[in-house]
Chains A and B, each alone.
Chain A
């Protein structure tokens, strides 16, 4: 989900936070951004992030990147300047987001003290000119923005009138423009007396607005926007052929229209993705997909600490301790013993007799490495799919399928990719009903079956006759005459073409053509006999012309056949009937 982090860089951000002399709003905002980066780092550094700062002007500080350090560096250099102008920032974001098209979920995270701005560029100024002129072309950008997820991390306390007034205006703006926006703020203290001695969160609020509160807001925002989709990928009954995986970016709910009439239903992919078979990529082709996702092995990572502000490398070595309560304890134990057995073996060859603890080698590795050294189903499946150029057909829900395959990008980097097909079993015509796919053993004896599933013939794959343009009629007639000149070699072709034209002419009620064709053939015949050419040819042409004129031949079943005995034309029935 491409995300723009927008930082308010107006002068009001330099105000100290009430009751907290060590913090300004800006320093809190920076802490918040860092915490957001930490959270996204833990989630795998997958999101593309960009940083803009805004005051009267909106500046792009860091363009979309997965290198979060660039943003960490850039926010240190932000210097507040004059007044906040939210609308300018929103407009800039629309143009920045343009390259992402409409297939991605676009996120905007704004860190602001909710300053409403001043004058015509303020929120209230915008609302005044906007209301009643919603359809004007200058507000088209709002329509582009409507699918974006806007998140405002609102820095301030409710006892501050400046803040609450800003909040109200912000909400008015979202309501008036129908943008999908959410304001994250600390809960207002409704009743001072009631809050006394109740929940701990209200206690915090009383103390004022600090770092912890900002972290909470960021975490709430991450929880609702950046939650990863975790599913079980099941590829067989064996425990090791089943694994927890992350689907990234999270698949969006699919709005499936009702089959005939009525309300549409919202569908989510199942918690378990079942592999049901394999197909070669060349059979699949490029069917239309709802969305594309990476399939990543799930790893346990530690949550970022709120203290440090940045990630500290975990000091504790991750241990390969086995959980005896796990259902696969027996198997885990066996695998570990075999692994140790081999490791000891290789060690023996290096330094014989050394009876060192086989766990030692693993204990020294850092978290990152040990994570890379745990075998995963994704890697195994990826390797095999890539080797065979195949894809796995997976079920994502009731009558809903997808493909998992090894995708290699232009930089030769390879990944396990999931293509989600639209729900339904007949979504890929050339694969047929996806519910009906099986294995060769399922076929009846002697039956063969292969892809693609063939459709009925379309107009372009049969020799259609369309005479709407003069030229196509002329070229069809020309073709007959060309064959006519090459008789007797082309006698069969001549009659085939002749019958094709005749049938088409009859279907269209184009009897004029039959007469015209007969005349043309006679002309041709006359010319040939004049030049004293080809006896066989003239006889056939004369025969064909006669047959074309016969009204008895204007029947669906009749076919003109070549004259069999040129010498005795009367001896042979000139037209045959196919029953």
Chain B
């Protein structure tokens, strides 16, 4: 994480020499159609036409700022660049803090520095040495990331950095002394940092790049030197560059410093303002991490490279594919995404491409393949105001040519409750938050609490949800039932509804079928449907038993079920048993089911809302409700005046299926639920 390029320092020589002209003249005369009258020549402007030249200082500043523009575009928040201006002392332009690691801060600060004045006398006080010293001190300062690492208990924080010094030296000897001073200061700084009281970091390694600047056409006595290790701590390289070539030099250097690669998007159709009917094709060169290329290359696949005239690095040429739809850009098989920045940010084709992308459209990039078959290897897209190049997976993949999911397990079923599930998806759409949602333990848990606790997957396993459309009261009833914070009022309403249901069942009212048109069902069927309705309702309530109110409702329902001759599903041995119930001459009018024991009757009477309660029962149940502490569950499910039986199921397991032990199984079941 803390590589050599995480910290870069520019040391800009601000001595008098840098005020001289770079001797490269830019003509402004072409702007004029007609010859103009002579204007008196002023300082800094050549005689005659409107020509001007940048100073060495301007050349140095603009190219170093271009360097950090690229760095900050490609590695936002990850790689840091600082500037130090050196004349009689070192002037710190920005710090490692992220608030000063941006273009506008640096530009504003540079406004105050301005070009060195020509009038100042040449003196030894003016030197780049001050800046180099400050640079070494700055290298010892930790970045936010390094502070973070220290906070997390990282013992040995790697600390490397690069210093790019733009200066001008008389000859190799003075260059050598510069180098020696730098090395000495580096050692001194490390000695300082080693002291326990010092907060600075030891510098593990430093790469010093010296750019020796001369005006155009001036010979320098300083010779170029490639990278050599001066000491185990320090590598130095020296380049002598004429001022107009600094930007090119730094562009070449940055490619190596950050392992960047260049892609030229070719064949971009653009409309001319003059003739909007036709379009011409343009090329735009962009920079990004080299990985964006190497990711897609394989043993039998390489990207075509070429060298653009006037440069010495390779660029990969990829062809623009005019996008057809927007949706195709989502969830492409992308194996790497990298920030990009145009090489020439102000050129018209660049800004044209940028605006196209920033407006939300994505562009696929094609590469011609060996057999003439074209492959789209990359995609350009902008998200949140940032442009990315996506490396796409072009190799054959094991997940290609998938058999459809409908040929797999569960594929032949057509009545999945997909629209209902889709509703759940829509209400659980995520949005970015500024703070972590309150009370969230795990992100999964956070979602699950929102989702229903009972949700049949297909419509042929639910009676309840199929009847929702037919029974107008049902949706609201279900809504109340699943409310986590059910109150007394809700409970009363639900109790009423359950009672209504009971009455209509007693009357033998038909429930409509949700998924069939048939209304010819027989009475037996209707009864069975009620029974399933109750059972499903019970299932739903069981899963949603959050409060005492829910539990009360559940008890009412259970007593209703028993009244309907369907006393809990555990005692049934299967369909045979059920049929025997259905065929028994049990009419809904008879409230006391013949099969239920006295115990069951007791429990029914206690819990049902149908009003057959003694005063004592009403009072004691009211007592129980007001009691804050939850009643002992054994007592809760035992009828009054009887002793609660503990561990009632011991020894009864084998007999569970037989109806003789009906009472005990009910007891057990209820104790689980309450």
Contact = CB atoms under 8 A, between A and B. Distances in A.
A462 to B, nearest CB: 8
A316 interface: no
Contacts of A389: 327
B110 interface: yes
A415 B515 contact: no
Interface residues of B, number: 166
A281 interface: yes
Interface stretch (A52-60, A72-80, A329-337): A329-337
Given A260-B149, A395-B443, A414-B404, A519 B114 contact: no
Contact of A285 (B26, B37, B330, B339): B330
B347 to A, nearest CB: 7
Interface in A376-415: 376-385, 387-393, 395, 403, 405, 407, 409, 411, 413-415
A443 interface: yes
A471 B426 CA distance: 52
A554 to B, nearest CB: 7
A387 B454 contact: no
Given A99-B396, A297-B409, A387-B422, A458 B431 contact: no
Interface string B359-400: 000100000000000000001010111110011011111111
B316 to A, nearest CB: 18
Contacts of B461: 334-335, 338-339, 375
Given A236-B448, A345-B513, A507-B110, A380 B421 contact: yes
A466 B111 contact: no
Given A259-B152, A334-B535, A454-B385, A409 B402 contact: yes
Contacts of B437: 438-439, 442
A311 interface: no
Interface in A523-556: 523, 526-527, 554-556
A437 B431 CA distance: 6
Given A384-B421, A437-B431, A338 B157 contact: no
Interface stretch (A35-43, A168-176, A444-452): A444-452
A103 interface: yes
B342 A436 contact: no
Interface string A82-104: 00000000000011001111111
B241 interface: no
A384 B385 contact: no
Contacts of B31: 474, 477-478, 481, 520
B156 interface: yes
Contacts, number: 494
Nearest to B454: A238
Interface string A235-259: 1111011000000010000000101
Nearest to A389: B327
Interface residues of A, number: 166
B532 interface: yes
A416 interface: yes
A198 interface: no
B458 A375 contact: yes
Contacts of B444: 234, 274-276, 395
Contacts of A46: 398
B121 to A, nearest CB: 20
Contact of A453 (B384, B417, B569): B384
Interface in A459-484: 459-462, 464-474, 477-478, 481
B665 to A, nearest CB: 13
B422 A384 contact: yes
Interface stretch (B56-64, B626-634, B636-644): B56-64
B91 interface: no
A237 B513 CA distance: 29
B398 A249 contact: yes
A159 B463 CA distance: 70
A340 B657 CA distance: 21
B550 to A, nearest CB: 15
Contact of A466 (B66, B108, B330): B66
A345 B518 CA distance: 8
A199 interface: no
B405 to A, nearest CB: 5
Given A241-B455, A464-B345, A519-B50, A509 B110 contact: yes
Contacts of A371: 409
The CB with the most chain B CB atoms within 10 A, among A442, A458, A511, is that of A458
Contacts of A467: 62
Contact of A280 (B115, B419, B429, B570): B429
A576 interface: no
B430 A520 contact: no
Contact of B403 (A98, A275, A413, A430): A413
A76 B639 CA distance: 77
A348 interface: yes
A46 B401 CA distance: 10
A177 interface: no
A231 interface: no
Contacts of B529: 341
Contacts of B410: 297, 372-376, 378-379
Contacts of B450: 439
Contacts of B339: 458
A286 B58 contact: no
B158 interface: yes
A561 interface: no
A292 interface: yes
A98 B535 contact: no
Contacts of B37: 523, 526
B443 A274 contact: yes
Contacts of B149: 259-260
Contact of A556 (B108, B440, B525): B108
Given A415-B405, A459-B73, 18 more contacts: A98-B300, A103-B397, A240-B456, A260-B152, A260-B154, A274-B447, A286-B329, A286-B334, A286-B390, A288-B336, A455-B76, A460-B351, A461-B358, A474-B30, A509-B113, A516-B52, A519-B42, A527-B36
7 contacts: A240-B456, A274-B447, A372-B410, A388-B422, A414-B404, A432-B432, A442-B433
The list of the 8 closest CB pairs from A to B, nearest first, reads A101-B395, A274-B444, A376-B410, A509-B115, A276-B443, A430-B383, A452-B384, A384-B421
